[in-house]
Structure 1
Amino acid sequence: MRLRMALLATTLMAAAPAVASATTITGPYVDLGGGYDLTQTQTFKNKYNEDGINTADKYKVHHKNGWTGYGSFGWGFGNGLRAEIEGTYLRSNLDGNSSPNGGHTRGKDSSYGGFVNVLYDIDLKQFGIDAPVTPFIGAGAGYLWTQEHANFASGESFKGTRGGFAYQAIVGAAIDTGVPGLQVTAQYRMIGQPGSFRNGQFGFSAENGSTNHTSIDHRFNHLFMLGLRYAFDTAPPPAAPAPVVAAPAPLPARSYLVFFDWDASALSARARQIVAEAAQASTHVQTTRIEVNGYTDNSAAHPGPRGEKYNLGLSNRRADSVKAELIRDGVPASAIDIHGYGEAHPLVATGPNTREPQNRRVEIILH
């Protein structure tokens, strides 16, 4: 009992989550393993004719601890489903007070054959668990040959080999080892053989040398196993290329021109109308900054260097007039930057000391 509990605990510990992603099998794999076999107690029924009377004796046959081994080749479909062909071998010894008149039964019991299994790997990520463990469940059907050889305390013996249908249920977990494609498996299986040893297929040798007909009830094997599984195709599927998202093109700056009379910084009615349009536009588009740049033509009320200095001041006064009008139209003062450039950057190229109305301006730029 302690051995069975230890093996069951090993299976449960194998399913404990760790800190990596589990492997999904796609393509061919092989699986080899073995472990503990517990065969349930069986009833042997011996039918014979004695003195013209049909008689039947029942014998309880107990199985001692046994072992099992298996090997399989399978294919994973990449979506959790797997199919495999398995060869298996089961072995246990017989012991116990079995015969109707008491006494121990000695002998051996073994089965061998194959199964076709269908299994499903459970992706723990769908439950929010990212671990290197993959629980799985499955079922299989196949054919097993079983050999029984029992010697009863009465001196009678029972032996024979017969094959028949078998089925199994599977539950377990696979753990990634860190080696690509290699996993450790821990699993429990229950194998059943319904009526495979009925209908007089075994001979029972009695003390008088006669051979009678013997049948055995439904057989159950409980298996606790560890194994190694290797998947050949371990290359991860190619990641889908990340979509290329083009950076949004910056919005073009919008500009408005306000013109002034010669040697003046006061706004005309038309100039106030243009400033109002600029102020309204700044509330309808995503504006991060408003530039207000003042300019003059290259004529001056005072000639020479003194005139250039005068024009620079005049351009700043024109920019200040436009800023004040923008603020009156609801634009925050903190959003406005003003600059005066004097005679620099003319809109229209002219000769020296020329009065040009288009160069006497303020440019409002919405960024």
Structure 2
Amino acid sequence: MRLRAALLATSLLAAAPFAAKATTITGPYVGIGGGYDLTQTQHEHSADIKNGQNGNNDFGDHVHHSHGWTGFANVGWGFGNGLRAEVEGAYNWSAISSYSSATSTKGHDRSYGGFVNVLYDIDLKRLFNIDVPVTPFVGVGAGYLWQNVSSASTMDGMSVNRKGTNGSFAYQGIVGAAYDIPGVPGLQMTTEYRMVGQVEDFGMGNVTGGLASGGERSAMRYDHRFNHQFIVGVRYAFNNAPPPPPPAPAVVPPAPTAARTYLVFFDWDGAALTGRSREIVAEAAQASTHVQTTRIEVNGYTDNTSAHPGPRGEKYNLGLSMRRADSVKAELIRDGVPANAIDVHGYGEAHPLVPTGPDTREPQNRRVEIILH
């Protein structure tokens, strides 16, 4: 029941929302943590010793633990690709609630030592495209722990004291998650579950009992020990410069809008607008209000014939092209185009739309071009 409750508490901490995403560590870091320790029931084996000789009444007992706590401090290095390595000092304390053969028990045991851990941070965004404010991690460690026992119990009307210290190889598995603390670059909160095991038996010396003979002692040995730990901690990474901001998106200027051209044609030697010509001018005026127009050009032209042949013909045609342009401008103004938005030019026989020989009446060259810029 206690194990299930502790697992639930750790799960809730891991699921709690945080404001920023935890980051993968690169370079040195330090950390501390502490939390709840639950030690599984152990088996105790003892052999009576009388007058310096081993007795032959071996018997076993069960050691039950209740509440406990754990703490650690570590220093490590992150390689920038999710892998980390660290050296850690750990301390565990657990109350001994009872021995199976005792009627009453009071005492505790504790362990202390160090581990070398190798861990891997799981970048959910990079690996799975999951954008959540948490970076899970997993790890393993190996080290050495000394265990110290100090307890007093009553068994069959006798008082038995257990005291002693011994050490053994230890290992641990780690599952946790890290969260950035907003506003403090490099500082992270961690939540972890650890399973710590000690694989060797160890003997406990200086064990005496209030036995009738007064000379008996027992050599106590404890079997494989398992600790389940639920930890909250903080760590600080020293290389915590924020990543460079993403480059600003390139500003692509809008493509210039192509000029729109409308052609108005005229009778030979004429500058008057026909019905169809007025319709075309009206279309140009309407279009100028629906597209972004900064300038309207009105350019008049003639063909290379003239009502006044000879040297005066070219000059006459230049004036005729200007009258045609002015006629179109006046119609645009009637259709609602501001006069100051219109530039008027007359080019005479220049820039024919259809190349021809001399003195050729070409209807398409007798024109005005309305150009919307």
Q: TM-score, normalised by structure 2?
A: 0.66
Aligned to 1:229: 235
CA RMSD, Structure 1 to Structure 2 (Å): 4.5
Give the equivalent residue in structure 2 for 1:275: none
Deviation at 1:182, TM superposition (A): 1.9
**301 and 231 in structure 1: CA distance in 2 versus 1, 3 angstrom threshold:** same
1:83 to 75, 82, 85: 85
The whole-number CA distance in structure 2 between the counterparts of 1:186 and 1:107 is: 29
Secondary structure of 1:10's aligned partner: helix
Q: CA deviation at 1:116?
A: 0.9
**1:342/1:106 Cα in 2 relative to 1: closer, same or farther (>3 Å)?**
closer
Q: What is the match of residue 186 of structure 2? A: 181
Structure 1 equivalent of residue 111 of structure 2: 111
5 Å-filtered alignment, 1:236-255, equals 236-239=242-245, 241=247
Cross-structure match for 1:271? none
Q: 1-side partners of 2:321 and 2:112: how far apart? A: 109
For residues 345-367 of structure 1, give each alpha carbon's deviation from its aligned partner in whole angstroms, at most 9, with x where no partner exists: 7759xxxxxx799xx799999x9
Mean Cα deviation higher: 122-131 or 145-154: 122-131
Match of 2:135 in 1: 134
CA offset at residue 77 of structure 1?
1.8
Deviation at 1:68, TM superposition (A): 1.1
- When residues 79 and 239 of structure 1 are mapped into structure 2, their CA distance, relative to the original with a 3 A threshold, is farther
Q: Is the 8 A contact 1:314 1:342 kept in 2?
A: no
1:267-322, CA deviations, whole angstroms, 9 ceiling, x for partnerless residues?
Answer: xxxxxxxxxxxxxxxxxxxxxxxx9987347873246997545446899xxxxxxx
Task: Assess if the C-alpha contact under 8 Å between 1:30 and 1:73 holds in 2.
Answer: yes
Residue by residue over 1:172-231, the C-alpha shift from the partner in whole angstroms, topping out at 9 and shown as x without a partner, is: 22222213222222211110001141xx45343243333342211100111111112222
Post-superposition offset of 1:243? 8.3
Q: Which amino acid in the other structure matches residue 205 of structure 1?
A: T
Q: In the TM superposition, what is the alpha-carbon distance from 1:119 to its structure 2 partner?
A: 1.3
What are the ranges of 5 or more consecutive residues in structure 2 without an aligned counterpart?
A: 260-267, 270-296, 326-343, 352-357
Cα distance in 2, alignment partners of residues 194 and 113 from structure 1: 15
- Give the aligned partner of residue 301 of structure 1: 307
- Choose 54-63 or 41-50, whichever is displaced more: 41-50
**Correspondences of 1:1-367 after superposition (within 5 Å):** 1=1, 5-16=4-15, 18=17, 20-24=19-23, 25-48=25-48, 54-99=56-101, 102-125=102-125, 126-153=127-154, 154-178=158-182, 179-197=184-202, 200=203, 202-206=205-209, 207=211, 208-239=214-245, 241=247, 295-296=301-302, 300-302=306-308, 307-308=317-318, 310-311=320-321, 344=347
- State the alpha-carbon separation in 1 of the partners of residues 62 and 16 from structure 2: 43
Q: Percent identity?
A: 52
Larger displacement relative to structure 2 (237-246 or 132-141): 237-246
Question: Offset at 1:139?
Answer: 1.0
CA contact (8 A) 2:141 2:173 kept: yes
Cα distance in 2 for residues equivalent to 1:134 and 1:343: 75
The Cα shift of 1:92 comes to 1.4
TM-score (norm 1): 0.67
Q: Distance in 2 between matches of 1:57 and 1:141?
A: 32
| Partner SS for 2:7 | helix
Structure 1: which amino acid aligns with 2:136? P
Q: 1:151 to 1:362 in 2, by over 3 A?
A: same
Cα 1:245–1:59 shift into 2, 3 Å: same
Residue correspondences, number: 306
